Each structure stands twice: as C-alpha cells, then as structure tokens.
C-alpha cells in the first residue's frame, strides 16, 4: 500500500478548526516549533502532527481568554 500523507495549508487548517485564518497564521509565525512538512511553491504545508500542535495552541489561547475550546 502507498500511504500518501495528508498535508494542509494554513487556510485549510483554519477552515477545519473553524477559526479565523489570522489566528492560525499568528500561531505559525510565533511558534517556531511548528514547522512546515513540505513546500508547494511558496505555500507551506503541514501534517497531522502540526495540526495537533496548532489545535493545542488554539485551545490554550481560548482558555487564557475564557473562551470555548476548539473541538477535534
């Protein structure tokens, strides 16, 4: 079997998490531990591990503001 990894752009990540794009971009620009898995031209692509890190950071931001956590 050929397991092709699923890679997502910051826009797709924002859509999947139902958050504004600027929040995802801010996290990617300020958390140097979250690095792109691949590049497609100038577009950065992220794997499922990066998605988990971004979800964690979004939940952390929401918890600090007293908001609702991002689901799945």
48-54 LR contacts (CB < 8 Å, sep 24+):
48/5, 48/6, 51/8, 51/13, 51/16, 54/13, 54/17, 54/24, 54/27, 54/28
Please name the residue that has the structure tokens 């609702």.
68
pLDDT (0 to 100) of residue 54: 97
Query: Model confidence at 5, in pLDDT bands (50, 70, 90)?
Result: confident
pLDDT (0 to 100) of residue 8: 96
pLDDT (0 to 100) of residue 44: 96
- Mean pLDDT for 50-66 is 92
pLDDT in tens, 16-53: 999 999 999 999 999 999 999 999 999 999 999 999 99
**Could you tell me the residue ranges of all domains in the chain?**
10-65
């Amino acid at each position: 079997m050929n397991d092709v990894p699923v890679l997502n752009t910051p826009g797709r990540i924002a859509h999947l998490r139902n958050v504004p794009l600027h929040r995802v971009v801010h996290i990617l620009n300020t958390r140097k531990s979250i690095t792109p898995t691949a590049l497609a031209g100038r577009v950065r692509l992220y794997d499922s591990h990066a998605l988990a890190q971004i979800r964690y950071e979004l939940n952390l931001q929401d918890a600090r503001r007293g908001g609702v956590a991002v689901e799945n």
